[in-house]
Amino acid sequence: MPLRVPARVHIVEVGPRDGLQIEPRTLSTADKVALIDRLSGCGALEKIEAGSFVRPDLVPQMADSQEVFRAIRRRPPIRYTGLVGNSRGAERALEAGVDEIDFSVAASETFNRRNVRKGIDESLEELRRIVALAAPGRAPAPAVPVWVTISTAFGCPYEGEVPADRVLRLAEAALEAGAAGVVLADTTGMAYPTQVGELVRQAARLAGTPRLGLHFHNTRGAGLANVLAALDAGAVRFDGSIGGIGGCPFAPGATGNVCTEDMVHMLHAMGVETGIDLSCLVETARWLEGLLGRPLPGQVMRAGPRSRRYPVPEERPRAC
Amino acid sequence: MPLRVPARVHIVEVGPRDGLQIEPRTLSTADKVALIDRLSGCGALEKIEAGSFVRPDLVPQMADSQEVFRAIRRRPPIRYTGLVGNSRGAERALEAGVDEIDFSVAASETFNRRNVRKGIDESLEELRRIVALAAPGRAPAPAVPVWVTISTAFGCPYEGEVPADRVLRLAEAALEAGAAGVVLADTTGMAYPTQVGELVRQAARLAGTPRLGLHFHNTRGAGLANVLAALDAGAVRFDGSIGGIGGCPFAPGATGNVCTEDMVHMLHAMGVETGIDLSCLVETARWLEGLLGRPLPGQVMRAGPRSRRYPVPEERPRAC
C-alpha cells in the first residue's frame, strides 16, 4: 500500500512565538514585526503564532506582544494567534486583537504542574473561563476560537511514556470545554512514527481532521518522519517554525521545532499543496539567521531545493 | 492502514569511508582504526565500509586504506567492505582482505561521466571485470561479493529527475553482471518519501529485499522520513553514517549521510531490532566529534535517547 498523502495541508507558523521565546538573542519589536510580515508575505499560511500573553517576568522575550499585534500588517485569511496561560492573559490577548487564542495543557500531570503550577483539571477549568471570555457577547464579536495544544502528547521528560488513552481523554475534554481544535504536541521530541500514526488515527476519529493539528520537534532527528506518519494517518494541519528555530529546555543544543521550509519542501516534492511560496520562506529563514546571529537548523536554506541544478563541471567533482 | 515496519533491519555503517572522505580534517590511520573498532564493538552492524581503493591523488583521505584493513580487529560476522573504482582498485582491495567490494555506478549518465570518466555501459563492463576478479579461483576463496551502489537513484544535480525505469534497468543490469546486491543511493539528497516508497517497491520485486540496500542523505531534512517510507515499502537494509558525518560536494554546509544513531534510535523506538547498542553508537559519535573538531549533525548525541528522564525541578522550567 503506497503512503497516503493528502492533496493539501495547512501550515501554522509558530516561529515568532514558540521559536523566538527560547532563542538566546531577543529580537526588537520592529524585527519581530518584520519577521511576521515577511512570513505572511509568503502565501497561504493558515495561522501565524505572533506572540504570547503570559507573565513578562517569566517569558521576557514576549513582553512586547501587544505592540507586535498593533504593528503587524494583517493579511487575511491568515489568522494571527497568541498564546495565553490563563484568563487574565486571554483578556490581554483579546484586547490586542488576536484572531485566535492558543492555550496549552500537558497530558502529563507532572509536566503541567511544573509548567503552569496547575493540575490538568484546573487547566481545563481555566480553559472554560477563557472560552467564555472569547465567546460572542463578551469579547469583540465574532467569537474568537480557542485552540488547545496538548503538550507532552508523545512522552514526558519527567513521567516517561504517556498513554494514548490519556491524551485522547484530554483532547475530548478540551473539545467539550469549547476548544475549536486540538494540537498534539511532541514537546520534547519523544515521538516516533508508528506511535504518531496510531495516535493521529484515534484522535482524528475523535476530533475530525480539520480540528486536529500536529506539532513536532526535530530533537532526535525524526521530525519529518513523524510528519510523514501523521500525513499517512490522515492529518492535514502542521505546526512548523521558520529556520527550525526554537527548541526545548530539556535538550539544550538539540534542534527545535520542525523547520517550516524543510517541511514545505518535502510536502511540495510529494505533490502536496500548501499554498506557500517555498523560496520566500527560504529567504526569510536566511534573513532571520542573520538577525539571530547563529546557524539555524534548517537544511533547505543551506542546500537549496531539490530542483536546484548545477552546471556540469569541466573537472571531476571531489569525492562524490 | 498502519505503517508497515519489519521486525528487524540490517545496518551498514559507511562513516569510515563515505563519511570521512569528505570531512575537512583527515584522521590518522590509528584514529580510523580506532573508529572502526569502536563501531564493531557496538554490536551487529551488518557491514562497515572501512576504506576505499581509488586513486590516492583524487581521494587523499583514503590513501591509507590498505593499512587500515591490516590493523582493524575483525569481529565476524560483521563484514568489512571497501569501495573500488575499477578492476585495478579491486585487485588492491582483494589483497587488503576486504570481505566485500563496493562498486558505484550512477543512474545519471552525466553524473557517471563526471564522477568516473566513464559511460554507464563502460561502468557495467568494469563491474563484470571486478566480479570476475572476485570470483572463486581468481581471488582468495571463497568468492568476495560485489555490491553495487546506484548513485543519483532519486535525482541528479546535473540532469534533474532520474526516471525510476532507468534506475530499475540499471539495477537489473548490475545483478545480471554478478552483483550480490544493489544499493539505491540518494547521493545529493533529492529523494522524497512517496518517490522512495514507489522505487523501493519496484526494486524489491526485481532484486528481493535481502539484496536491496538504501542509502539516504539528510541534505534537505528528509533523511529519516525517507527511511520510514522505505521501511513501509519493505526495505530491510540501510546505510548510515556515525554522527551524520559526510555530505555532498553539491551542498556545502548541508548535513550529510543519514546519521546511524539517529536512525537506530528511531528504529528501536518503533520496536524494530537492529542488534546494535545505541548508547555505544552515541558514545562513539561523541568521541568522533572530538576528533573531527566540529559539531556533527547527529541529534541523539546531543539530546540523548527518548528514554532519558529528567528530575522534576523545584522551579518552573524556562518557557516550555
pLDDT digits (tens, 9 = 90+) for A198-212: 999 999 999 999 999
| Nearest chain B residue (CA) to A244 | B221
Kindly list the residues from chain A whose CB atom is less than 8 angstroms away from the CB atom of residue B190: 306
CA distance A241 to A20: 9
CA pair distance B89, A176, nearest whole angstrom: 69
Reading the block at residue A17, the C-alpha cell is 512565538
The whole-angstrom separation of Cα A109 and Cα A122 is 11
Q: B117 in contact with A at a CB cutoff of 8 Å?
A: yes
- Distance, in Å, from the CA atom of B281 to the CA atom of B264, rounded to the nearest integer, reads 9
Partner-chain contact B310 A117, CB within 8 Å = no
3-state SS track over B242-294: HHHCCCCCCCCCCCCECEHHHHHHHHHHCCCECCECHHHHHHHHHHHHHHHCC
Kindly provide the ipTM of the predicted complex, given to two decimals: 0.96
Stretches in chain B below the pLDDT threshold 50: none
Task: Copy the grid coordinates of residue A168.
Answer: 485522547
Which domains are present in chain A? 10-303 (3.20.20.70)
The whole-number pLDDT of residue B247 equals 79
Residues 6+ apart with CB under 8 A from B84: B52, B53, B54, B90, B92, B93, B101, B102, B103, B130
Dihedral (CA of A95, A97, A101, A104) sign = negative
The full length of chain B comes to 320
Dihedral sign for Cα B35, B41, B46, B125, please.
positive
What is the H or E stretch that residue B105 is in? strand B100-106
pLDDT of residue A138: 63
Query: B63 touching A, CB under 8 A?
Result: no
Question: Given an 8 Å threshold on Cβ–Cβ distance, is A225 in contact with B266?
Answer: yes
- The catalytically annotated residue of B248, B259, B280, B320 is B248
Looking at residue B255, what is its pLDDT?
A: 81
Contact B223 A221 (CB under 8 A): yes
Residue A157 in contact with partner chain B when CB distance is under 8 A: yes
Q: Does A30 touch chain B (CB under 8 A)?
A: no
The interface residues of chain B toward chain A in range 119-148, judged by CB-CB distance below 8 A, are none
| pLDDT for the residue A247 | 79
**Cα separation of B31 and A304, whole Å?**
34
Mind listing the pLDDT tens digit for each residue in A181-204? Answer: 999 999 999 999 999 999 999 999
**Residues within 8 A of B (CB atoms), A 74-93 only:** none
For A310, which of B157, B255, B318 is closest by C-beta distance?
B157
From residue A264, how far is each of A238, A244, A305, A308, B232 by CA, in Å? 10, 12, 10, 16, 22
Query: B312 — contact with chain A (CB < 8 Å)?
Result: yes
Q: Does B199 touch chain A (CB under 8 A)?
A: no
Confidence at residue A189, expressed as pLDDT on a 0 to 100 scale: 95
Whether the predicted pLDDT of A315 surpasses 80: no
Query: Which of these ranges, A20-29, A299-308, B170-179, B223-232, has the smallest mean pLDDT?
Result: A20-29
The pLDDT assigned to A262 comes to: 98
User: What local confidence, expressed as pLDDT, does residue A320 receive?
Assistant: 52
Whether the pLDDT of residue A301 is over 80: the answer is yes
Separation of alpha carbons B193 and A218, rounded Å: 17
Nearest to B158 among A250, A259, A312 (CB): A312
